[in-house]
Amino acid sequence: MKITCDILDTRLSTPAVINATLDKLSNKFADRRAKHLGYPYNLDFDAWPISQFGKFFINNLGDPYVGSHYATEVCGVEREVVDWFARVWECADPEEYWGAVGASGTEGNLWALYLARETLGNPVLIHSTEAHYSVPKAAKILRVEALTCEADHTGAICPDALREVVQANRHRCVILALTCGTTMKGAHDDIASCISVLDQVGIDPSRRFVHVDGALNAMVLPFVDGLPSGIRPSFRHGIDSMSTSGHKMIGTPMPCGVLVVRREHVRRVASTVSYLRSDDTTLMGSRNGHAVLAIWNRLTRLGIAGFRHFARTCIERADGFAGALRSASVPVLLNPCSLTVVFPKPSERLVNEYQLACHGNCAHAIVMPNVKADLIDRFVGDYTAEWPCNSRQKVFS
């Protein structure tokens, strides 16, 4: 059977047609980037510093702390990235922690929950109803029983609901998946309170594994002054692992993520691969060295001061955004120290134009560093022009 596809038709693939196609995509992306509000991507990046490496195949094989026979790798740079996060996330002794750069925050969640399963044997996974979809998906992949507990109206896990679920499973080992910046509402689970629940029910550290999904706000909250200690993304709470995304607040030009975990958990799964001259301790055998360089470039160029500026500026703009909508009598949810502004879902025209993320009757905009005042003002004007006509039909929840 002959299969044809226009994009592979050599009659069409002349240099002029190829260049025209790429130019068309570039123009489209530039236009869409200028009106992007709905997803937590930091589009305010400069890819030029790492563009010189586009001519190299950079592959981090095996364990980041061992390297491999393959010479075009950046495992040393990867270790610097992990050390940077170990400091920001307050790992007491960096030698006791292990980390790696992966394809996304989702990969970090999956690998962390795999390590948890291998550590605990036959545990039950508990997560809130507002957890990212990758958490229950990981449970299905790993064949781990997953239970949900309710979140409160802000989107944060409810300690009383958590206590009820943990109490009902007090004779089992528990994986607790918490979130630092929930997907739709940007809420922060109180890590300290949740661990206190485990302590009170009698789930001691030998029978639990606590993972924090910090895809977005684990790179925001560490740089906020006066933060309530309970929601601070920190290993000082006694957590076992934490992950974040590189393409969100960090601002890389490709999806990627970072996982940091207590080294003792990784030792349990490590196996030697002789032909790599390395250990198998990661989910993917081949890992993107370009992503490592992209994260390293942003961390070292911006530094703590740069991310502190990002956090302060974005939180202030989110407050202004919410205030502008409220002044037009629009009901808004904005959690403290969050970048996620939640409001009733507008028309499909505005959803598509501003690429809003929606769930039920709600939509949200996320104020990333590239979301400047002019874009916020434009959206607020467009939204409030519709609001008097739609307000009776909209239900905010």
pLDDT in tens, 134-156: 999 999 999 999 999 999 999 99
Where in the chain are all domains bearing CATH 3.40.640.10?
A: 52-301
Answer whether residue 272 shows pLDDT above 50: yes
Taking residues 229-258, what's their average pLDDT? 97
What's the rounded Cα separation, in Å, for the pair 361 and 351?
12
pLDDT score at 11: 56
Residue type at 139?
A
What's the rounded Cα separation, in Å, for the pair 185 and 177?
17
Give the lowest-confidence range in 13-17, 124-128, 338-342, 378-382.
Answer: 13-17
What's the rounded Cα separation, in Å, for the pair 249 and 310?
8
Q: What is the percent of the chain with per-residue pLDDT over 90, rounded to a whole number? A: 86
pLDDT in tens, 20-62: 999 999 999 999 999 999 999 999 999 999 999 999 999 999 8
Mean pLDDT of the chain: 93
Q: Which two tokens stand for residue 62?
A: 């095996």
Angle 75-88/289-326 helices, nearest 10 degrees?
30
Is 225 in a helix, a strand, or coil?
Answer: coil
Closest Cα partner for 185 from 336, 348, 14, 368?
336
Where in the chain are all domains bearing CATH 3.90.1150.10?
A: 36-46+304-386
Q: What is the CATH number of domain 52-301?
A: 3.40.640.10
What's the rounded Cα separation, in Å, for the pair 238 and 193?
12
**φ, ψ of residue 326 in degrees (nearest 5):** -65, -35
Q: Which positions are annotated as active-site residues?
A: 338
Match domain 36-46+304-386 to its CATH number in 3.60.70.12, 3.90.230.10, 3.90.1150.10, 1.10.287.3510.
3.90.1150.10
Instruction: Tell me if 124 sits within 8 A of 144, measured CB to CB.
Output: yes
What's the rounded Cα separation, in Å, for the pair 169 and 176?
12
Taking residues 286-307, what's their average pLDDT? 97
Taking residues 226-252, what's their average pLDDT? 97
Q: What is the pTM of this model?
A: 0.93
What's the rounded Cα separation, in Å, for the pair 154 and 157?
9
Q: Which two tokens stand for residue 60?
A: 């981090």
